[in-house]
Amino acid sequence: MSDGLPEPEEKARVVRGMFDRISARYNLVNRVMTFGMDTGWRRRTVAELRLPGNAIVADLACGTGDLCEELLEAGYRTVGLDFSHGMLVHARTRAPVAEADILRLPLADSSTDGATCGFAMRNVTNLGELFAETARIVRPEGRIGFLETAEPEGRLLRAGHAVYFKRIVPLIGGALSDGDAYRYLPRSTAYLPEPERLLSMVREAGFGEVERFSLAGGAAQLLVATRR
């Protein structure tokens, strides 16, 4: 992978180390750099699940647990899974959390009614494996919501977003946390396939009713789907 991004064999180690380092101020930087919009994006992710109350929803790459809290607020039961010890230490959620690789989940086949995943698609070494592993643990008719950053489509918005994401976000991250990590953030979107390919990958993994919502003028995207 060009642009100074880690090669697949070292990516997991680099990503885990980076989140361990930024964990203490992760929530603060998120709120500042998204002007607080990330909270609404997570709420929308949970709202789009439309599962019965009390459903079990695994939150993959839960980090500090913001999506777990949204899931609990919506009346679901949840468990958060993440491989960064630092992020889990700083988790502020009432949900149980466990250290695990989301490409090898410690959950039985069809054991959950749904799964969510916030801002981790670009961080895994193999996105196809993540969708396949999610399909393995979610029961037929179960629902998933995957939230991720994105690039706006219109030329003007795209240009403005590029300046903000590539120049301002690293400055905010550097001032409040770790500049290297927040320089990696905009570059790591290069790992994300184009929207159409992303939707095909979700279908190929065993999901139907696949939808993509563009959030905040295209700065974020939400994929939702139903397990076939």
By beta-carbon distance, which residue lies closest to ligand SAM?
63
Work out how close the CB of 9 gets to ligand SAM at its nearest, in angstroms, rounded to a whole number. 13
Q: Which is nearer to ligand SAM, 47 or 159 (CB)?
A: 47
Exposure b/e, 104-137, CB count within 10 A at least 16 = b: ebebeeeebbbbbbbbbbbbbbebeebbebbbbb
Our finding on whether 123 is near ligand SAM (CB under 6 A) is yes
**For residues 56 and 71, which CB has a smaller minimum distance to ligand SAM in the complex?**
71
**Alpha helices (H) in 7-146, listed in sequence order:** 8-22, 26-33, 37-47, 66-73, 85-89, 127-137
Q: What are phi and psi of 60, to 5 degrees?
A: -85, 135
C-alpha angle 77-67-140 in degrees, rounded to nearest 5: 55
C-alpha 83: how far from chain center: 13
CB of 135 to ligand SAM, least distance (A): 16
Pair 150, 221: CB distance under 8 Å? yes
Binder of ligand SAM out of 67, 107, 219, 225 (CB under 6 A): 67
Q: Is residue 49 close enough to count as binding ligand SAM by CB under 6 A?
A: no
Q: In terms of CB distance, is 123 or 226 closer to ligand SAM?
A: 123
Among 69, 82, 113, 148, binds ligand SAM (CB under 6 A): 82
Residues in 87-106 that interact with ligand SAM by CB under 6 A: 87, 101-103
Residue 222 makes contact with ligand SAM by CB under 6 A: no
- Give dist(CA 222, CA 46) in Å, integer: 10
- Least separation in angstroms between residue 65's CB and ligand SAM is 8
Yes or no: say if 85 and 20 are a contact pair by the CB < 8 Å rule: yes
Residues that bind ligand SAM in the complex, under the rule CB under 6 A: 12, 15-16, 19, 61-63, 66-67, 82-84, 87, 101-103, 118-120, 123-124
